[in-house]
Structure 1
Amino acid sequence: MHISQFYIAGINYKKTDASVRGLFAVNNDHYASVLQKAPDYFLDQLFILSTCNRTEIYGIAPCADSLVHLLCSETEGSVETFKELAYIKQGEEAIEHLFNVASGLDSQILGDYEIVGQIKQATRFAKEHGFVGAFLERMVNTVLQSSKAVKGQTALSGGTVSVSFAAIQFLMDNVTNVANKKILLLGTGKIGRNTCKNLVDYLHTTNITLINRTPDKAVELADELGLQYASFEDADKYIAEADIIIVATNAEQPVIMKADLESSNTKILIDLSIPNNIDPLAKELAHITLVNVDDLSKINDATLQKRQAEVPKAKAIIAEHIDEFTEWYSMRKNVPVLKAVKQKLQDMHACNLFMAMHPNLGENYTHHASSDSIQKVINNMALKMRQQRKPGCNYIEAINDFITSRVH
């Protein structure tokens, strides 16, 4: 493959609101179906990153259209809508985009580090289904190393700004006596878990009930933090009683409808899900305050301003890791050449030419010494290839001439 065959096609918060992004959201069932269909589109290396802020499909493809049509075949949005709103990047530009995404440079809230876990989960799922080869695996590993370096060497992810914390910030700014309010958290996946811990740590409240469709996660988190949990079947009762409801589920349709809230008390509802898991029409009710991830991203404070100053440092770190990856890719193309040279040298040894080139080895020359000498030659050639990787260099051409020459 050539690096120009690597594409990313995606939509994100920059051109689409939460309702449109929801049309192209991919859960695990969709993801499995996409991977099952992938060979029909001549695709064998790909992964999908679907979060509250973006849906992106990355892959080695004959053209970007194959990725777009595959993705849209398993989502509610059309190919036409996707193409109208999407960004498509190829080759080195696509690689740089993934590095930026993983470091939080492209996040709706600058420096949001939750994206790293989502990338790991997305690529793990694809790998389990056999769609991550050497190229994607090496690239993602380098991306994660780069992201870790950015987090450790800059303050880009410093402070306490993320989607899950933005929900807490909203409550601190808009609710008095939060500790006296009944809080219901629906969904205890990664985002829900982070939000729950932030509720306890920053609002100093344990008046929280957890509900999850599969109860194990809710029970475990409730026990860990000293909270209450309830079964999914009793959700209506707790929705009616709660003063604050935070939804971090991964359902394809809203789990709370406008009709569920028409006769309720005054409530604040925060929807952290994509697609919307709270009916957007609930906003029409005078006693309901409803905010979603797009509303939360508008929270701007001193922490974000400090993060902006760290962007140049982050970009410099990313550039170093991109160079590291592209060098690996360039050298990987030379592996067949090196193997051929090794075989050539072994053929020469079989014809006793290798002995003639090393007269000091004498009668004590052994097969083991020969193998070691050959490997040293190969290692030296690999080093030369790295050093001579520039326009006008005939090093590789000379090696190919050597390989094709006859052994006498």
Structure 2
Amino acid sequence: MHGAYSKDITNFHSIGINYKKTDAAIRGLFAISEAQYQQVLEQAKAAHLEDLFVLSTCNRTEIYGFAPDAQQLMDLLCEVTNGDPNLFAQLAYMRSGEEAVKHLYQVSTGLDSQILGDYEIVGQIRNASRFSKNQGSLGGFLERLVNSVVQVSKLIKNETGLSAGTVSVAFATIRLLEKRVPDIKNKKILLFGVGKIGRNTCKNIMEYLCAKDITLINRTAAVAEEFAGLHGLRAAPYETLEAELQRADIILVASNAPQPTVLASHLQNSGPKLVIDLSIPFNVEQAVGELPGIELVNVDELSKVQDETLQMRLQEVPKAMEIIEEHMAEFLYWYKMRKHAVVLKAVKDKLTEIHTREIQQQKNSDHYELEDMEEVSSRIIQKMINLMAGKVRKESDKSDQYIAMINDIFETGINQD
């Protein structure tokens, strides 16, 4: 994996798995924690791969970056996860060059999400790229690309109806509860895990279903107590988890742990219950669903809950694609001109070198006007650069030919491959 390689866009790749070909159980095997992410970046640096980031959500695990071979990026992911690399290779998609760029635009705008128009994904992309940047692993290309996709995501949200209406895993939970538990006001509800997803789901239950008998448990007790105090709910200590699981009619699990936290042994002989696992990887042991009278639902099943909002969003897809195409073209133009800028700087350096040498020769002669000579020659150099850059911008369809010719004439040593 070692060795230099070109940062040409053909060496830019996106590799990953998502909900389209894998269920939540498999995705959980390849989910990346913060510690694993750190490990990926350290191993990438050791292999001289220094412009990449990893996106790991409940619906996907993906890596974006430059490498001489896309397989190297896949290996980075698989080396730190618990899944089988051969299984990942069978289920993974690989995109390179402009197709990889386009994929990130589609992911960031919710066009590739399990719930069409999911706007939360753009925040996850921003956080993932920021983590990479803080570790010194995000280069100029990816930073510019992420900034562009974030901007496009905002435009699509504001100028189309792709994200209009309320459709999310938290809201899908409400739809499910409406259908399965019509008398939910009379049911005892336990929420285990008071992170973002847990809080959103709890708020939806109170707002849309008017349920109030909700108990909160969190590993960090203060988090549950604060949220419970704000909303008039009950908080219970983590140590009472098993007793509260036995007591509840409906159990929502969003504990965000790397392994199951709710086990079949916790719910033996506990009576009928609906258990909803909002976590990836799963935080409810699969054997729970085999217990008599207990129904277990996970995030994949929740995402199948349809709403009329989704039909409305489908009509907005063409508008969103137009915005993506426009801004992706701008990004690719920036990339092309960025390559040209490297050559132009080298040409300027070459002319400056000639200028310095000529001035020195004049200094060694008997008569010269140093001030006038330096001013005039500097102007000449800048004018030449401006002339070449202007021609390249004006004749954009021939810009590659012009730059290649300039590069060759001045023997800059810049490799444009």
SS at structure 1 position matched to 2:43: helix
Is 1:108 paired with 2:114?
Answer: yes
Shift of 1:227: 3.0
Alignment of 1:156-167 (within 5 A): 156-167=162-173
Which amino acid counterpart does residue 185 of structure 2 have in structure 1?
A
Partner of 1:209: 215
Alignment of 1:7-406 (within 5 A): 7-346=13-352, 351=358, 378=385, 381-391=388-398, 394-400=401-407, 403=410
Which ranges in structure 1 are unaligned for 5 or more consecutive residues?
A: 353-362
SS at structure 1 position matched to 2:397: coil
Between the aligned partners of 2:106 and 2:96, the Cα distance in structure 1 is 15
Task: Pick closer, same or farther for the CA change 1:366–1:159 going to 2, 3 Å.
Answer: farther
**Percent identity over the alignment?**
53
Task: Pick closer, same or farther for the CA change 1:126–1:229 going to 2, 3 Å.
Answer: farther
TM-score between the two structures when normalised by the length of structure 2: 0.86
Task: Pick closer, same or farther for the CA change 1:233–1:61 going to 2, 3 Å.
Answer: farther
Task: Pick closer, same or farther for the CA change 1:136–1:181 going to 2, 3 Å.
Answer: same
Mapped contact 1:9–1:67 kept (Cα < 8 A): yes
SS at structure 2 position matched to 1:37: helix
Which amino acid counterpart does residue 333 of structure 2 have in structure 1?
E
Shift of 1:285: 2.1
Q: Deviations over 1:350-395 (max 9, x none)?
A: 547xxxxxxxxxx997978987886676456444323323258642
Which amino acid counterpart does residue 35 of structure 1 have in structure 2?
L
Between the aligned partners of 1:217 and 1:249, the Cα distance in structure 2 is 12
Equivalences, count = 396
Moved more, 164-173 or 369-378: 369-378
Mapped contact 2:278–2:298 kept (Cα < 8 A): yes
Task: Pick closer, same or farther for the CA change 1:295–1:75 going to 2, 3 Å.
Answer: same
Between the aligned partners of 2:102 and 2:110, the Cα distance in structure 1 is 13
TM-score between the two structures when normalised by the length of structure 1: 0.88
Which amino acid counterpart does residue 177 of structure 1 have in structure 2?
D
Shift of 1:216: 4.4
SS at structure 2 position matched to 1:10: strand
Shift of 1:193: 2.8
Mapped contact 2:392–2:398 kept (Cα < 8 A): no
Partner of 2:3: none
Moved more, 37-46 or 87-96: 37-46
Between the aligned partners of 2:154 and 2:372, the Cα distance in structure 1 is 49
Between the aligned partners of 1:228 and 1:366, the Cα distance in structure 2 is 83
Task: Pick closer, same or farther for the CA change 1:375–1:296 going to 2, 3 Å.
Answer: farther
SS at structure 2 position matched to 1:160: coil
Shift of 1:263: 1.6
| RMSD (CA atoms) | 2.7
Task: Pick closer, same or farther for the CA change 1:148–1:16 going to 2, 3 Å.
Answer: same
Shift of 1:229: 2.7
Which amino acid counterpart does residue 113 of structure 1 have in structure 2?
Y
Mapped contact 2:132–2:138 kept (Cα < 8 A): yes
SS at structure 2 position matched to 1:56: strand
Moved more, 217-226 or 33-42: 217-226
Mapped contact 1:42–1:62 kept (Cα < 8 A): no
Task: Pick closer, same or farther for the CA change 1:26–1:301 going to 2, 3 Å.
Answer: same
Between the aligned partners of 1:401 and 1:281, the Cα distance in structure 2 is 68
Between the aligned partners of 1:228 and 1:78, the Cα distance in structure 2 is 42
SS at structure 1 position matched to 2:32: coil
Between the aligned partners of 1:370 and 1:188, the Cα distance in structure 2 is 68
Task: Pick closer, same or farther for the CA change 1:272–1:70 going to 2, 3 Å.
Answer: same
Between the aligned partners of 1:340 and 1:244, the Cα distance in structure 2 is 67
Moved more, 249-258 or 306-315: 249-258
Between the aligned partners of 2:387 and 2:199, the Cα distance in structure 1 is 52
Task: Pick closer, same or farther for the CA change 1:301–1:55 going to 2, 3 Å.
Answer: same
Moved more, 322-331 or 369-378: 369-378
Which ranges in structure 2 are unaligned for 5 or more consecutive residues?
A: 1-6, 360-369, 413-417
Shift of 1:208: 2.4
Mapped contact 1:41–1:70 kept (Cα < 8 A): no
Shift of 1:397: 4.0
Between the aligned partners of 1:128 and 1:242, the Cα distance in structure 2 is 43
